[in-house]
Amino acid sequence: MIISWSLVEIFRYLFYAFGLVTGDSNKKTPYPLFWLRYSLFAVLYPTGITGELTCFFSAAYDPAFQSTFSADIAIWIYARILPLVYVFGSPFMIMNMVGNRKSAFKKRFARPPPPPRGIVFPVEEGKKSRSSTPVNKEILASAVGAVNPSKAEKIRSAKGYRFTYVKHLTGLVEEQCKSPEACLKIAQAGLDKAYDIFEFVAPDGSAVSVREAMSMKNTEKFCTGFIKGEGAKDTTMMEVPYKGTILKGQSLKDQVKKWVDYGTIEPSAGEAIIGCVDNPNWCDLSDKYFVLLGAGSAMGPLLVLLALGANVIAVDLDRPNIWKRLIGLAKKSPGTITFPLKQEQSSLDSDDALYAAAGCNLFTHTPMIRDWLMDLYPGKSFTVGSYAYLNGALHVQVSLAMDAITRDLSEKRPGTSLAYLCTPTDLHLVPKEAWDASVSNFKEYGSRLLCMFVRLLSSGRLLKKNAKAPVAGEGGDFYMINGVSVAQGPNYILAKRMQHWRAVVARSKGCIVSSNIAPATSTVSVTQNRTFAWAYEGMPYFEPYEIFAPETSNAVMSAILFSDLNSPKSVGNPKTSLNNPNQLFSQGSFHGGNWRCAYEVDSIGETSVLIYFARIGAPYIAGSAVVLAAVAYKVLGY
């Protein structure tokens, strides 16, 4: 034990010493020392653990110790029972080091980032870095500053913005509730600031604002690729995959009613889905054109659209593997796919050549994509869906890129409608019925032993009340639910907020806008974070939460989209009267229980993880109880 742990520390502290001297322990440490620091654990952890266990057992079975065990039961149990912890704890410790090693090697041998291209954050004043926090603060401040300058100054002077941005977001939404004019003024000011503050860097390194870049003439043009599917259209009905079955017709209606009654979705979302069942012509998409920005997104409607014979105009990265998949899906479907090409399709002599020439980059080709779409299929009405998603600051950049395209299409191409997927982890206005349900659940869960214990232990930091105080505004009181997860960060919220702003502005100008809340979904991008995956497993304890599979979320959100595009009563139709533009996001919500849950989603994560591990650990806990009972019987005689 001593030899193993001493060797571990010798190389670890040598590694730290080089880091102090060189200023970069990861890249400047001599490679042999770097390798030993992150590799010796494979030998020394098992031998060190074996040494510790040997010490335990040597003590437990020493004759001198045996003769005194009845005088000190605690030590006797400690020497025999505590080693059980190693059975469960050792793999976690070793796998943690495996993850650290993988991350360290990736950083050491990572290529330097390429020079900035396309839409990028501006260089921070007085520095060489492109930081996202000052930009986040300035855009939000400029937005709310259009109606309340004092709140804008509080945002600009905020400290620790990474953890305090939610209160400033709340203040912005409260200002939007005061009147329809204030709501639209804030939205337009926020978008305007984003176009002015973000840069567009050309291949030669020259930079202009995104506003200027989108107003320039482009000499380069995309060619157009087209594939007609060979599959037979086998359905004109809305079908929803759910827990191993296919719901359609009456079975879908029955399940929708269960979701509504349980509180997993809002009644308006249920009505929209049932509307698709009752109007099968809404699902005949053979003459409809859908532009998918981020066509391959896990939450996008590509598969549903192709299955229903739609004409999909796909925009995604210029990577052959992406287009091999997208074109392959289209060929097997009754739909069609149109996509940007770097050269004429007739000049490509193989499928591999087609895949290599297909695609574009939303960051760097933004004006070219806009121009290509403006000229495509003259006279046809487009529904433009913004589905691209990236992590961190890149999500803000791609959201602005999509906005630059949707702005011009919605304002300059007649008949264009817009589609968005809102996240449940945001700050939304909700119907009073949903707010009342959340308040009622808070009272009910407050009497549960687990919830009382967690709130007491955390001093109220966990299991916070979901329903916020009503906000008075022109047209009555407005009700809010705080679904924001602080861990997602201000970049995520800004990206989604820009989509909100474009949605209300476009709708105010007569554009149909489908912008509905999608449920928490077990996509790969989410569940690759183990903590999120564990939390998802435990969240259904808090009724009416339900976590959905991607194929279910895609289908139900597509159904609500079709309702928005066809139903004159839809809230997405600009002819439907609203007391406030932000009520666009109050209807058609398939929130998965977020709105009616007793507690804020950001305050149930730790408890959900605890519930998950309590469930999977129940057999082990029961086994340990049996062992302890046996020990008690042996030692105490009962």
Q: Which residues pair with 479 in a beta bridge?
A: 430
Amino acid identity of residue 89, one-letter, is G
CB atoms closer than 10 angstroms to residue 197? 18
Over the range 304-328, which residues count as b (16 or more CB within 10 Å of their CB) and which as e? bbbbbbbbbbbbbbbebebbbbbbe
- DSSP conformation class of 447: T
Which of 188, 291, 582, 289 lies closest to 422, judged by CA?
582
Reading the block at residue 470, the tokens are: 């009503």
Catalytic status, residue 175: no
The C-alpha atoms of residue 38 and residue 18 are separated, in whole angstroms, by 15
Exposure on the CB side of residue 42, measured as CA atoms within 13 A: 9
Question: Tokens 């009497």 correspond to what residue?
Answer: 447
CB atoms closer than 10 angstroms to residue 336? 18
Catalytic status, residue 52: yes
Region of residue 612 (left: phi > 0; alpha: psi -120 to 50; beta: else): alpha
Helix, strand, coil % in the chain, rounded to nearest 5: 55, 10, 30
The C-alpha atoms of residue 259 and residue 194 are separated, in whole angstroms, by 39
The C-alpha atoms of residue 605 and residue 39 are separated, in whole angstroms, by 33
Cite the DSSP H helix spans in 540-617.
Answer: 550-566, 605-616
The C-alpha atoms of residue 606 and residue 526 are separated, in whole angstroms, by 16
Over the range 435-457, which residues count as b (16 or more CB within 10 Å of their CB) and which as e? bebbeebbeebeeeeebeebbee
The C-alpha atoms of residue 602 and residue 466 are separated, in whole angstroms, by 10
Reading the block at residue 228, the tokens are: 């007609």
Greatest CA span in the chain, whole angstroms? 95
Q: Which residues pair with 516 in a beta bridge?
A: 421
Reading the block at residue 249, the tokens are: 């017709």
Which of 331, 293, 261 lies closest to 301, judged by CA?
293
Question: Tokens 């091999």 correspond to what residue?
Answer: 324
The C-alpha atoms of residue 92 and residue 103 are separated, in whole angstroms, by 16
Instruction: Give the DSSP H/E element, type plus range, for residue 325.
Output: helix 320-331
The C-alpha atoms of residue 555 and residue 73 are separated, in whole angstroms, by 60
Residue from 16, 45, 239, 445 carrying the catalytic annotation: 45
Phi and psi (nearest 5°) for 484?
-65, 135
Residue from 9, 52, 153, 638 carrying the catalytic annotation: 52
Please tell me whether residue 180 adopts helix, strand or coil conformation: helix
Please tell me whether residue 572 adopts helix, strand or coil conformation: coil
Could you give the angle at the alpha carbon of 623 between the alpha carbons of 620 and 628, nearest 5°?
Answer: 125
- Evaluate whether 259 touches 247 at the Cβ level (below 8 Å): no
Which residues are annotated as catalytic? 45, 52
